[in-house]
A and B are shown apart, each in its own frame.
Chain A
Amino acid sequence: MKRSWVVLLAPAVLVVGVALAGPPRKPGKAAPQRAHPQVDPTEACDVCHTDATPEVVAEWFAGKHGVNNVKCFVCHGSVGADFVLRAPASRCIGCHAEEVASLAHPTLTGKDCFSCHPPHLLSPHSRQRATTGGVR
């Protein structure tokens, strides 16, 4: 989906430099966090999702998380009570602490990781090619 750079203008505050302060803020427009439908918890996610959400599975597989086996539950938790649809940025600090800290930048107020990085493909920028080089 299209990311509009113009969005960054609102509110119209001019900023100089990078401020490093405080913990990352919660996203302003988080998607509702639904529970996962009841499924056999021992089934691998792709058993259903290859049919239910094929583009998601394909994007994940083609992206860095796919080739490096950062599997679904790393971001989403299990299908039980700890399931999250849209992972909060705090969940990403295991590998991406600096990037999460960068959300403190004033231009990123109200944003989380997925405001700019398409989930699953997780490219550096929207519609960026999957940078998996010679990897199939």
Chain B
Amino acid sequence: MTTFSRRSFIEASAAASALAALGGVAGLRQAVAATAQGGEQWVKSVCRYCGTGCGLFIGVREGKVFAVRGDKDNHNDGFLCLKGFLLPQILTAPDRCLHPLVRKEGKLVRASWEEAMALVAARFRESIEKYGPDSVAFYGSGQGLTEETYCANKLFKAGIRTNNVEGNPRLCMASAVGGYVTTFGKDEPMGCYEDIDHADVFLLIGSNTAEAHPIIFQRVVRRKEAKREVKVIVLDPRRTPTARIADLHISFTPGNDLAILNAMAHVLLKEGLVDEDFIAKHVTFGEGGEVNKSWEDYKAFLAEYTPAKAAAIAGCSAADIVTAARWFGERGKAAMSMWTMGLNQRTKGVWANNLVHNLHLITGKIGTPGNTPFSLTGQPNACGGVRDGGALSHLLPYGRLIANDAHRAEMEKLWGVPEGSLNPKPGLATVDMFRALERGDIKCLYVMCTNPGQSLPNVLRYRKAMERADAFVVVSEAFHPTRTSELADVVLPAALWAEKEGVYGCAERRYQLMEQAIPPAGEARPDFAILCDLAARLGYGKLLPFKTPADVWAEILTVCKGTVYDFTGMTRERLKEAHGLLWPLPTPGHPGTKRRYVRGEDPLVPADHAERILFYGRPDKRAVVWLRPQKPPEEVPDAEYPFYFTTGREIEHWHTATMTRNCRELANTNLESMAQIHPADAAKLGLRPGAPVRITSRRGSQVFRTKITDGAKPGVVFVHMHDPERMCNVITIDAVDPASKQPEFKVCAVKLEKV
């Protein structure tokens, strides 16, 4: 028998306690993750908000969601931003749409599902028969579940045979898509969030990451805390909370960042920071739409983009451009670029995307940990549902194009429809679609899970279009009223987030299954069920023969097989057990792909490929460095409209705030759109804090209260997009990027008048 002295017993206890606490983390995790603990259940799911796609567990007690907690085994490491934190409240919001509504004698009145759906089917069928398939259209959403968007896409393109299938990612990500496709041949980033943990230099451009992608921002902050030499470069006309961690913040006049990016390339070239070997092996050059230029052509093109010239164009310092380029290009340092709406919501959005890719391609900073151009996605399922699923008017699922005969033939086979079923002509992109509604060419519009009555640019024009007597607008929505449902002829109550199951695909090619936690509120139904019902009533039940979203997923797996997305290995069971999976994931045992185009990581690169990188997206297996000159936005300030008007987001709210305004803590916090003005401008205009100011563009006028902030740029007024009562889009311009058709929400010209 061993005898302990009191002292040694205490010491042993102390040691045991500390040691247990070390390994205790895993045990704690189990305790927290246990289901059915005292009547509580924790259901694995994903945040409803942004494209970061934070994993979380939904806490359910007595059939109600009472809490959420971050999933520590997912990329967000258990963290949620303040919006995700408050999610439970959206489910029981007082303005939940609980019953179908039909407009009768000018007013929306409660109806039964049967009456509402019979009316929708009748009006659509009548229009198709009388005016043809292209007289109807579908406008969906990057918030719809993958299975739902897939069903709509199939019903409209293969059943009704119209390619008028669009979605709100046209308003936010189309230029990023265009950038990836023109540069690499295929859409979607090649890196992943983990690259943040390895980067030495961050280039944040056109992104207020701190407010729009807080958990990604947090990861950048942690990287900076872990390695003090990490540099953060922020390019933004405004000094936002993101600039708080910037080692270099470059403010410039809106729309002139193309010059800065070219000038950075100029410096990289001049200072010998380019990787000629990489360029020789993996890069080709192009201009306009032709891949017909050379490295020498590109060098000649860059010659005029001196830092001094770019600084003069962009209104910043040449020295700062040089510094940014040097930090980006420093040999041995990993560089990660991240951007979002500041680059995408532009008439030169695709070009801006190309120019960021150029920096990575000419330095070879791509495809190794921390080296990657990473587009941040706005919506939770813009990638998975709409981009990847091909639910835009020119696309078919998983990298296929309407205009490509072989692709159409493939889809006709996969969808089991006769050869020649798919209309070979691409449909109308969003702004054109709403203009067709305005003209009367489109008579029936089905809007799912989005709010164009608030979110379209030059919104008053398109609200009028939706209000036309001969326009039949169906809105499937979880909330009523919204600025769109208030215009509808039929409002269908949609199940919201925890009330349905399906897959979301976020910015880093991560697909995640959201399990259903509670039944739908009131009479709400999942969009999946609504679409299958509509298909049956229109005579296309055979195209959507699905009983559950899992059935849809099984079909989706057959459609992605053999494409560059190939995620055949992501069975439902695998998704249930995993905490998100990154495609490509072509076989059951495959772990998923962190870095595309990289031998040994990407299963689509042959293991014996001679080079480490293979840009298999393009026929010549090279990425394209595009020669994109500086071109101004569509509408810039002049004598009559002397201010820049720009729009964006704040952390408290998401999109048109239909969900966030229902959270107690957020209802009064920053919901009101205010005109954010620089103190010097305010002084000149005689504006004091809170004073009303009328902002007028060539399209419309709106009064906002003044918020004076020295983070604003002189000559630039910023208004956020969340307020349903003071809509910034009364003012914004509906000019679009000719390649991507994405509108220029970020720049137009206005005048300001004290009211």
Identify 14 new A-B residue pairs, CB closer than 8 A, beyond the known A14-B9, A15-B13, A20-B24: A18-B20, A20-B28, A20-B30, A42-B669, A67-B244, A71-B669, A78-B669, A95-B85, A101-B32, A131-B225, A132-B221, A133-B225, A134-B224, A135-B224
Q: Tell me whether B230 is interfacial, beta carbon within 8 Å.
A: yes
Task: Give Cα A17 to B27, complex, Å.
Answer: 12
Partner-binding segment picked from B67-75, B123-131, B365-373: B67-75
Task: Give Cα A95 to B67, complex, Å.
Answer: 11
Q: Which residue of A lies closest to B223 (CB)?
A: A133
Residues of B within 8 A of A54 (CB): none
Residues of B within 8 A of A18 (CB): 17, 20-21, 24, 27
Residues of B within 8 A of A23 (CB): 38
Partner-binding segment picked from B209-217, B333-341, B487-495, B531-539: B209-217
Residues of B within 8 A of A133 (CB): 221, 224-226, 228
Binary contact readout A122-136 vs B (1 if CB under 8 angstroms, 0 otherwise): 000000000111111
Verify B664–A78 contact, CB threshold 8 A: yes
Q: Tell me whether B668 is interfacial, beta carbon within 8 Å.
A: yes
Which are the 3 A-B pairs with shortest beta-carbon distances?
A133-B225, A73-B665, A41-B668
Q: Tell me whether B29 is interfacial, beta carbon within 8 Å.
A: yes
Chain A interface mostly helix, strand, loop or mixed?
A: loop
For this complex, 7 residue pairs linking A to B, each with C-beta atoms less than 8 Å apart, are: A42-B672, A69-B651, A93-B67, A98-B32, A131-B225, A132-B221, A133-B224
Q: Tell me whether B691 is interfacial, beta carbon within 8 Å.
A: no
Given A23-B38, A102-B28, A82 contacting B221 (CB threshold 8 A): no
List CB contacts (< 8 Å) of B654-691 with chain A.
664-672
Verify A95–B79 contact, CB threshold 8 A: yes
Which of these, B16, B20, B217, B230, contacts A134 with CB under 8 Å? Answer: B230
Verify B70–A97 contact, CB threshold 8 A: yes
Residues of B within 8 A of A20 (CB): 24, 27-28, 30-31
Task: Give Cα A74 to B89, complex, Å.
Answer: 13
Q: Tell me whether A7 is interfacial, beta carbon within 8 Å.
A: no
Verify B245–A67 contact, CB threshold 8 A: yes
Verify B244–A98 contact, CB threshold 8 A: no
List CB contacts (< 8 Å) of A97-126 with chain B.
97-98, 101-102, 107
Task: Give Cα A6 to B84, complex, Å.
Answer: 39
Task: Give Cα A94 to B665, complex, Å.
Answer: 15
Q: Which residue of B lies closest to A22 (CB)?
A: B38
Binary contact readout B1-24 vs A (1 if CB under 8 angstroms, 0 otherwise): 000000001101100110011001
Task: Give Cα A95 to B70, complex, Å.
Answer: 5
Verify B69–A77 contact, CB threshold 8 A: no
Q: Which residue of B lies closest to A23 (CB)?
A: B38
Residues of B within 8 A of A68 (CB): 210, 214, 217-218, 221
Q: Which residue of B lies closest to A94 (CB)?
A: B85
Which of these, B17, B214, B247, B672, contacts A69 with CB under 8 Å? Answer: B214
Residues of A within 8 A of B652 (CB): 71
Residues of B within 8 A of A97 (CB): 32, 69-70, 72, 78
B498 to chain A: closest CB distance in Å? 15
Task: Give Cα A20 to B32, complex, Å.
Answer: 10
Verify B28–A94 contact, CB threshold 8 A: no
